[in-house]
Amino acid sequence: MSGYAVTENRLAKAQKIEAVLQEHLNRKTSGLQILDIGSGVGEIALFFTGQNNVFAVDVENQMTDIVKSSNIVFKKVDSEHLPFVDDTFDIIISNHVIEHVGDATLHLAEVKRCLKPTGICYFSTPNRIFPKEVHTKLWFLHWLPTALFFLVLKVTKRFSEPIHLLSYRKQKQLFKKVGLTFTEYTREIINNPDKYCLDERIPFRIPKWAQALSKTTIFVLSR
């Protein structure tokens, strides 16, 4: 995930993830086996170290020196397959990862396989329906057929790596296909930013139907 690796606001994102996980678990995130998929520079994984055993995977090791000196166990991967045995993790974090993989179904199937029976996955991805594409910052072009969207990016020299955006509806279809149950936090987070350590605010509360149009969707998945 090197092409669009993100470094800004990682602490705030980690705090949001922790708030969602703790609310769902109704307990502190400590004493757990945690996996961060697509770890990038590693700051989200680092946030959960200390009282947890934290593992991280990515297609290349982009971790900062501070992260490398921590007790995070990093494993390089070259596909959606995860190098762990079944039922390993209490928590898996898939934060803006699925849009970068070639096989979204396999990615979710591997998440399911590696979760403990009582484990959960924090899942977040950009919503294809939202009019501004979050990686390229372009408006509407990602609504084109995928091949045409990639061609436009290449012609305009904005192409870094393939991005396979999923609509809100498609995400739910994939969860059901793989056999993952899901609890949605999208609307709850937008309407209660302070509760989830967010600075972003909108001047009104969104109704339930409007979460399908949000910039990013957030779910907690379980087996």
Task: Look at residue 199 and tell me whether its pLDDT is greater than 60.
Answer: yes
Q: How far is CA 1 from CA 11, 35, 58, 119, 191, in A?
A: 19, 16, 7, 25, 30
Q: Do strands 115-126 and 89-95 pair parallel, antiparallel, or not at all (unpaired)?
A: parallel
Question: Does any domain span residue 50?
Answer: yes
CATH number at residue 37: 3.40.50.150
Question: Does any domain span residue 151?
Answer: no
Question: Does any domain span residue 171?
Answer: yes
Question: Does any domain span residue 144?
Answer: no
Q: Are 36 and 56 in contact (CB under 8 A)?
A: yes
Q: Are 135 and 39 in contact (CB under 8 A)?
A: no
The residue type found at 199 is: D
* Highest mean pLDDT pick, 73-77, 194-198, 207-211: 73-77
Phi, psi of 9 (to 5 degrees): 60, 30
Question: Does any domain span residue 46?
Answer: yes
Beta bridge partners of 139: 132
Task: Look at residue 2 and tell me whether its pLDDT is greater than 60.
Answer: no
Of 55, 47, 59, 61, whose CA–CA distance to 84 is shortest?
55
**Total number of domains constituting the chain:** 1
Chain segment 63-83, per-residue pLDDT in tens: 999 899 999 999 999 999 999
What pLDDT does 34 receive? 98
How far, in Å, CA of 128 to CA of 216, rounded? 9
Chain segment 76-134, per-residue pLDDT in tens: 999 999 999 999 999 999 999 999 999 999 999 999 999 999 999 999 999 999 999 99
Domain extent at residue 43? 10-127+166-222
What pLDDT does 6 receive? 52
Chain segment 19-56, per-residue pLDDT in tens: 999 999 999 999 999 999 999 999 999 999 989 999 99
